Chain A
């Protein structure tokens, strides 16, 4: 077939334009992209046929060498019918989407959004957790300070306690000494009174030394 380069180039351009349209969001544009790519493919199929020639009709005396290749044309006819059906279906779908939501955009998948959200949730959670950890640390530091103070007080108290114990011990001993002294004195006074009652004062003062 003559001019195959033109066919291939045209097919390539249709492919490129169709791909660009396919990347759009509205279903109508995607539909147009599908139509363009479909036609591009059909041109490529046509480019695969051999040399061009007469219509492939078998009749007596027809020479095969002068005929064009019928097979790619049959392919293209079939493909055109299929693309037509799919175009109709996509157009219906675009209309239905418009009925539902007022536009025919292909939305992001909800589960995908959930996955993305899950990531942002994870970040948010990490941030909150970090803040929480920081606060917990501060609280713990505070609590530890308090504990230390308490511990200090306790040791001080204990130290105080030992001092007090020592004091009490001393006091106990002092009191015991005092009691013993008083008892001795009392005994001494008693014996003195006995002596006073018996004889003259000189006896009391001098005693046995008299």
Chain B
């Protein structure tokens, strides 16, 4: 076992150990605990960087857990794609942790986040890492489950009625997709006699085409639920915006991309020569257009961002559907870009909420004058998401569009057109949000600093379904009016007020992520080189298989 290969399990093991340690410590020693979390995630980032360098220079790094050989034991593999995903995810999770620490400290809310938030968050990180490193389908399933179980806790943290409601949707959908995933794994095992990804290519190639197709569709369906691709995306905008800002940010950035990663891995390694590429492209087109039209019609910033998330999934599915080296490379680049940008935007939404008490665009206004730093932190990633030329969003989209034109099929050209329209509509939606929230004259309630955002009695208990919280009020005269629902970024149920000065670590973490997103532009050349090599490695299939089977 080479030196770098011993590092492979660390991104999974370290956060899990830290989570256990934190559960043992409980709510004591806050500073030590925060330090442990940050140090562990920093260590994961360093390990991921080392793995990326090793995987790029020496080929895939493989570790057999317990020394058991692949068909029996658990295999962890870090190739270029996995290592790149690990680097991006650990940078993002580290930033979000720093942000959440700032939020927790500012909220005078010591006990809840430390004893619940940090362990769950670390388990989530471990699950994400395990998914990226998994060398067999069942371990992929376990990674998903680790991640999802932690995400259920994070989604319903505090246990308010709104979060329970949103969490129920999320948990049920995820639960169903997990069951389907396990059934698909059973199918693979029944058909091929193994679930080790390195052994599967040869065995699946030997199967009748129809059987392989059924397996492919089953797996794709599961991953499409995770990745929120159009017909299976309805759960996402309902559940994400209710969670606390850092949680939403990391969910939006990472959890959906884990589905994309799993698609990339299975489509290239297990089912090469995209036989259902055209189906994927149609889904990508629908996802792009339906998602962005949903975003245009939203009046809440978080929901708007959730819909752009659904929409931009289409770009990555487009790349996977193309199946060409350019398409895969563009999809990988876009995943890296989109994780960072989407997380940043949700963190900024959390900052806006902290500043003004709401993310409802109808009651926001004048933020550009009240808080210019916030304006910059929103503007840059927003333009990045929309794909304004010097930024990485443009580069990612350009890579995908070039691959589409290179493909030359009629459907690919339709996709190119749809993707361009989507970019313009994204720009329109974000510019609309910018105009209203930042350039409009401040609304009266905007100026009041110190408004109570959430108290312990946030929602009245005992209301039936008809009078759901913050929902619909009655005006006299039988006219039904909608009262904008205020969902606040808090941990626990303590009283929180708006403040004009943003907590340093929240703003710092957000600014760091903005800078990280800009770094994709500066380092676009080397990064595209890396994604090209990763795509070549994925499409060649043999480096992965040989690294796992012939060590």
A82 CB to nearest chain B CB (Å): 5
- Whether A45 is near chain B, meaning CB under 8 Å from some CB there, is yes
The interface residues of chain B lying within 8 Å CB-to-CB of A113 are 468, 471-472
Q: Say whether, besides A117-B472, A117-B482, A105 and B465 are in contact (CB < 8 Å).
A: yes
Q: Say whether, besides A85-B149, A86-B149, A107 and B189 are in contact (CB < 8 Å).
A: no
**In the complex, what residue of chain B is closest to A100 when comparing beta carbons?**
B161
Q: Among the listed A37, A38, A93, which residue makes an inter-chain contact with B168, where contact means beta carbons less than 8 Å apart? A: A93
**Do the beta carbons of A37 and B465 come within 8 Å of each other?**
no
Binds B, one of A72-80, A139-147, A154-162, A194-202: A72-80
A113 CB to nearest chain B CB (Å): 7
CB-contacts of A58-108 with B (<8 A) = 71-72, 75, 78-79, 82, 85-86, 89-90, 93, 96-97, 99-103, 105-108
Q: Is the interface of B mostly helix, strand, loop or mixed?
A: helix
**In the complex, what residue of chain A is closest to B194 when comparing beta carbons?**
A71
**Do the beta carbons of B149 and A101 come within 8 Å of each other?**
no
**In the complex, what residue of chain A is closest to B174 when comparing beta carbons?**
A86
The interface residues of chain B lying within 8 Å CB-to-CB of A105 are 465
**Do the beta carbons of A97 and B183 come within 8 Å of each other?**
no
B111 CB to nearest chain A CB (Å): 18
**Do the beta carbons of A41 and B462 come within 8 Å of each other?**
no
Q: Among the listed A41, A85, A90, which residue makes an inter-chain contact with B183, where contact means beta carbons less than 8 Å apart? A: A41
**Do the beta carbons of A101 and B161 come within 8 Å of each other?**
yes
A3 CB to nearest chain B CB (Å): 16
Q: What separation, in Å, do the CA atoms of A128 and B303 have in the docked complex? A: 30
Q: What separation, in Å, do the CA atoms of A12 and B182 have in the docked complex? A: 14
Q: Which of A48, A99, A112, A117 has the most CB of B within 10 A?
A: A48
The interface residues of chain B lying within 8 Å CB-to-CB of A72 are 186, 189
- Whether B165 is near chain A, meaning CB under 8 Å from some CB there, is yes
**In the complex, what residue of chain B is closest to A85 when comparing beta carbons?**
B149
**Do the beta carbons of B462 and A44 come within 8 Å of each other?**
no
Q: Among the listed B171, B179, B463, B465, which residue makes an inter-chain contact with A93, where contact means beta carbons less than 8 Å apart? A: B171
**In the complex, what residue of chain B is closest to A25 when comparing beta carbons?**
B465
**Do the beta carbons of B190 and A48 come within 8 Å of each other?**
yes
Number of A-B residue pairs at CB separation under 8 A: 117
Q: Among the listed B160, B175, B187, B238, which residue makes an inter-chain contact with A109, where contact means beta carbons less than 8 Å apart? A: B238
**In the complex, what residue of chain A is closest to B71 when comparing beta carbons?**
A71
CB-contacts of B173-213 with A (<8 A) = 175-176, 178-179, 182-183, 185-187, 189-190, 195
Q: What separation, in Å, do the CA atoms of A30 and B482 have in the docked complex? A: 30
**Do the beta carbons of B164 and A96 come within 8 Å of each other?**
yes
The interface residues of chain B lying within 8 Å CB-to-CB of A48 are 186-187, 189-190
- Whether B152 is near chain A, meaning CB under 8 Å from some CB there, is yes
Q: What separation, in Å, do the CA atoms of A27 and B171 have in the docked complex? A: 11
CB-contacts of B109-167 with A (<8 A) = 138, 142, 145, 149, 152-153, 156, 159-161, 164-165, 167
Q: Among the listed A38, A90, A107, which residue makes an inter-chain contact with B171, where contact means beta carbons less than 8 Å apart? A: A90
Q: Which of B171, B182, B187 has the most CB of A within 10 A?
A: B182
A129 CB to nearest chain B CB (Å): 15
Question: How many chain-B residues does the 8 Å CB contact rule pick out?
Answer: 46
B437 CB to nearest chain A CB (Å): 19
**Do the beta carbons of A107 and B468 come within 8 Å of each other?**
yes
- Whether B551 is near chain A, meaning CB under 8 Å from some CB there, is no
**In the complex, what residue of chain A is closest to B188 when comparing beta carbons?**
A48
Q: Among the listed A75, A82, A86, A107, which residue makes an inter-chain contact with B465, where contact means beta carbons less than 8 Å apart? A: A107
The interface residues of chain A lying within 8 Å CB-to-CB of B463 are 101
B197 CB to nearest chain A CB (Å): 15
CB-contacts of A1-38 with B (<8 A) = 22, 27, 30, 34, 37-38
**In the complex, what residue of chain B is closest to A107 when comparing beta carbons?**
B465
Q: Among the listed B159, B169, B176, which residue makes an inter-chain contact with A106, where contact means beta carbons less than 8 Å apart? A: B169
- Whether A110 is near chain B, meaning CB under 8 Å from some CB there, is yes
- Whether B3 is near chain A, meaning CB under 8 Å from some CB there, is no
The interface residues of chain A lying within 8 Å CB-to-CB of B169 are 106, 109
- Whether A114 is near chain B, meaning CB under 8 Å from some CB there, is yes
**Do the beta carbons of A89 and B472 come within 8 Å of each other?**
no
Q: Say whether, besides A102-B464, A109-B238, A27 and B168 are in contact (CB < 8 Å).
A: yes
Q: Among the listed A86, A97, A117, which residue makes an inter-chain contact with B480, where contact means beta carbons less than 8 Å apart? A: A117
The interface residues of chain A lying within 8 Å CB-to-CB of B468 are 107-108, 110, 113
- Whether A209 is near chain B, meaning CB under 8 Å from some CB there, is no
**Do the beta carbons of B472 and A34 come within 8 Å of each other?**
no
**Do the beta carbons of B464 and A93 come within 8 Å of each other?**
no
- Whether B418 is near chain A, meaning CB under 8 Å from some CB there, is no
**Do the beta carbons of B238 and A106 come within 8 Å of each other?**
no
**Do the beta carbons of B179 and A38 come within 8 Å of each other?**
yes
Interface mask (A101-141 → B, CB under 8 Å = 1, otherwise 0): 11101111111111001000000000000000000000000
Q: What separation, in Å, do the CA atoms of A89 and B461 have in the docked complex? A: 21
- Whether B445 is near chain A, meaning CB under 8 Å from some CB there, is no
Q: What separation, in Å, do the CA atoms of A139 and B185 have in the docked complex? A: 72
**Do the beta carbons of B470 and A110 come within 8 Å of each other?**
yes
The interface residues of chain B lying within 8 Å CB-to-CB of A79 are 182
**Do the beta carbons of B185 and A75 come within 8 Å of each other?**
yes
- Whether B492 is near chain A, meaning CB under 8 Å from some CB there, is no
- Whether B485 is near chain A, meaning CB under 8 Å from some CB there, is yes
The interface residues of chain B lying within 8 Å CB-to-CB of A75 are 138, 182, 185-186, 189
CB-contacts of B439-469 with A (<8 A) = 459, 461-465, 468
**In the complex, what residue of chain B is closest to A110 when comparing beta carbons?**
B471
- Whether B9 is near chain A, meaning CB under 8 Å from some CB there, is no
Q: Among the listed A27, A45, A103, A109, which residue makes an inter-chain contact with B182, where contact means beta carbons less than 8 Å apart? A: A45
| Chain A residues with a Cβ under 8 A of chain B | 22, 27, 30, 34, 37-38, 41, 44-45, 47-48, 71-72, 75, 78-79, 82, 85-86, 89-90, 93, 96-97, 99-103, 105-114, 117
Nearest first, the 4 A-B pairs at minimum CB distance are: A48-B190, A100-B161, A45-B186, A109-B238
| Chain B residues with a Cβ under 8 A of chain A | 72, 138, 142, 145, 149, 152-153, 156, 159-161, 164-165, 167-169, 171-172, 175-176, 178-179, 182-183, 185-187, 189-190, 195, 237-238, 303, 459, 461-465, 468, 470-472, 480, 482, 485
Question: Can you list 12 A-B contacts (CB < 8 A)?
Answer: A38-B179, A45-B185, A71-B195, A75-B182, A86-B171, A86-B175, A90-B171, A93-B167, A96-B159, A97-B165, A117-B472, A117-B480
Known interface pairs A86-B152, A109-B169; 11 further A-B residue pairs with C-beta atoms within 8 A, sorted by A's residue number: A34-B179, A41-B186, A82-B145, A97-B165, A100-B461, A102-B461, A102-B464, A106-B165, A110-B472, A111-B303, A114-B472
